Amino acid sequence: MNTESLRVNGKRLKKSLEFMARIGATAGGGVSRLALSDEDREARNLFIQWLREIDLEISIDEMGNVFGKRAGQNNDLSPVMSGSHVDSQPMGGRFDGILGVMGMLEVLRTLHDHKVKTRRPLVIVDWTNEEGSRFSPAMMGSGVWAGILDRQWAFLRRDLSGKSFGDELERIGFKGSVPCRKWPVHAYFELHIEQGPLLEREKRSLGSPEGIVGILWADGYVQGKANQVGPTPMEGRNDALCAAAEMFLKVNELPGKMGGNLVATVGEIQNYPNSRNIIPEKVRFTLDIRSWDDDLIRRAWEEVKRGLQEVAKRRNCPIRLEEIWRVQHAP
């Protein structure tokens, strides 16, 4: 048959996305499928069921990355790979990540329906913990596969409740036996929704990224002194939350101060003891800095450290900043 006339089944793709959106569904049409949660396991099992229906060779590596391989005419050739992830943010979008997995699945289903044999093998992948919302950093499964992150280090990463990545991977039954290491790939494609407003603003339905921003992630720990709120006068308090709040504003002001295409965000906060009538003793927060310019990220990070230490000194609430992840922009 003339393969140039092949078209994917849009209705089937939409139905698959709707099935996945039921797993971890949230009010307002979003999803919550944190990595290695019960919802993540349910989505993975459904994904594998669909892979079996089109006779793919399924493998799961030590990091829980799921691969489905479709043989080609010459299996000695390196494969073309595509996919994304089924895990989500705590209040994630129903198409974020999953569109890349379901999009490639629909391509493979269409080839299967029409008995088309490609020259090269094709591989679909679901990468483990792409989001990094529960276990930081992000892109952990692909990072270990690519040799950028250490596997044992990844296994020891913990969520806010103290559960380790390795233990939770075993709990959901997705710690595979296949070594997690990269192999030659001819090409890699990923279909993804735009997570910003630019395409919609320009009334375009499709775009091709010219690169990927550099990212720096850090955790901040502010130390104050807990006391009863009633008998403790305002003067002389060591309020960790007030100090942290001023620090957050420093972060928010950073892009305007430094210019360029920098963005900086405090996205996660834990306040201790988190009591109505106790002055906050400790605050933990996350920091995310992004830019196309790696040197701008470096300078922004130095500026953040200076600015936050100044607040800490003035408010007598020491801060510890820990850089946990840095990725350079590409290309």
Q: How many CB atoms lie within 10 A of CB 189?
A: 12
Domains 3-201 and 214-327 share a fold: no
| pLDDT over threshold 80, residue 293 | yes
Query: What pLDDT is stored for residue 331 in this prediction?
Result: 84
Note if the pTM is more than 0.75.
yes
Read off the pLDDT of each residue in 282-300 and give the average, rounded to a whole number: 98
Domain 3-201 carries which CATH code? 3.40.630.10
- What does each C-alpha distance from 284 to 158, 251, 274, 319 come to in angstroms? 15, 15, 12, 10
| pLDDT over threshold 90, residue 76 | yes
pLDDT tens readout for residues 169-223: 999 999 999 999 999 999 999 999 998 898 999 999 999 988 899 999 999 999 9
For the chain, what are the domain ranges? 3-201, 214-327
Asked if the 214-327 domain carries CATH number 3.30.70.360, the reply is yes
Read off the pLDDT of each residue in 31-47 and give the average, rounded to a whole number: 99
Rg (CA), the chain: 23
Residue whose tokens read 């607040």 = 311
Confidence of residue 1 (pLDDT cuts 50, 70, 90): low
Provide the b/e sequence for 100-115 (b: ≥16 CB within 10 Å).
bbbbbbbbbbbbeeee
